[in-house]
């Protein structure tokens, strides 16, 4: 439980420093997705026959269920169920309990801050995030540096 809270809530919003072992050309520490990151996601989506919308923020998403009622904003406290995966399908974190997990949206990675407000309460979304909107060059725990990530998120409540 605490490990999951650590990954979602307590890690920095966007890793801004590159690992010293990373080549400068491999590390995007700007917090803005570059063409290579976007191309990686486009290739993944194409290879897996996934139709997704590209957000101007540089990530892709599929709204599974739009939800109804309240739309979260950066200052909202949200309750979600989610699964996080690497592009190779490895699950690195999840909370699929009936109660879900609650946190303030401004405390999580940039990709969630941009993506979760695309749905309303009771909605669900699949986010395809480039490294610069996730855990960046250094990664975190089981997430390698420069990893694009997939999140399946169900928004249970918004306060």
Q: What is the CATH number of the domain that holds 152?
A: 3.10.50.40
Helix boundaries (H) for the chain: 2-5, 35-47, 110-115
In a domain, 33, yes or no: no
Whose structure tokens read 């986010």? 127
Q: What is the pLDDT of residues 15-55, one digit of tens each?
A: 333 333 434 456 777 789 999 999 999 999 999 999 999 99
Q: How far apart are CA 111 and CA 136, in angstroms?
A: 11
Does residue 23 form part of some domain? no
- What's the domain count of the chain? 1
**Does residue 13 surpass a pLDDT of 80?**
no
The answer to whether the beta carbons of residues 148 and 84 sit under 8 Å apart is no
- What are the CA-CA distances from residue 76 to residues 4, 64, 70, 117, 123 (Å)? 20, 21, 10, 10, 15
Domain of 134 in residue numbering reads as 2-13+40-158
- pLDDT tens-digit series, residues 96-147: 999 999 999 999 999 999 999 999 999 999 999 999 999 999 999 999 999 9
- The answer as to whether 31 is a domain residue is no
Flag whether 34 is in a domain: no
Q: Minimal CA–CA distance to 134: which of 35, 46, 7, 25?
A: 7
Nearest to 12 by CA among 140, 124, 130, 151: 140
């Amino acid at each position: 439980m605490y490990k999951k809270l650590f990954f979602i809530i307590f890690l920095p919003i966007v890793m801004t420093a590159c690992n010293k072992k990373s080549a400068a050309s491999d590390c995007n520490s700007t917090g803005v997705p570059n063409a290579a990151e976007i191309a990686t996601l486009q290739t993944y989506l194409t290879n897996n026959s996934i139709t997704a919308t590209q957000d101007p923020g540089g990530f892709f998403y599929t709204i599974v269920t739009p939800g109804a009622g309240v739309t979260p904003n950066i200052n909202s406290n949200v309750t979600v169920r989610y699964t996080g995966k690497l592009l190779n399908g490895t699950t690195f974190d999840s909370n699929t309990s009936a109660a879900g997990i609650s946190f303030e949206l401004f405390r999580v990675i940039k990709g969630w801050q941009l993506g979760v407000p695309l749905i309303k309460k009771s909605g669900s979304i699949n986010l395809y995030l480039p490294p610069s909107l996730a855990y960046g060059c250094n990664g975190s725990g089981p997430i390698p540096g420069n990893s694009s990530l997939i999140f399946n998120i169900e928004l249970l409540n918004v306060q």
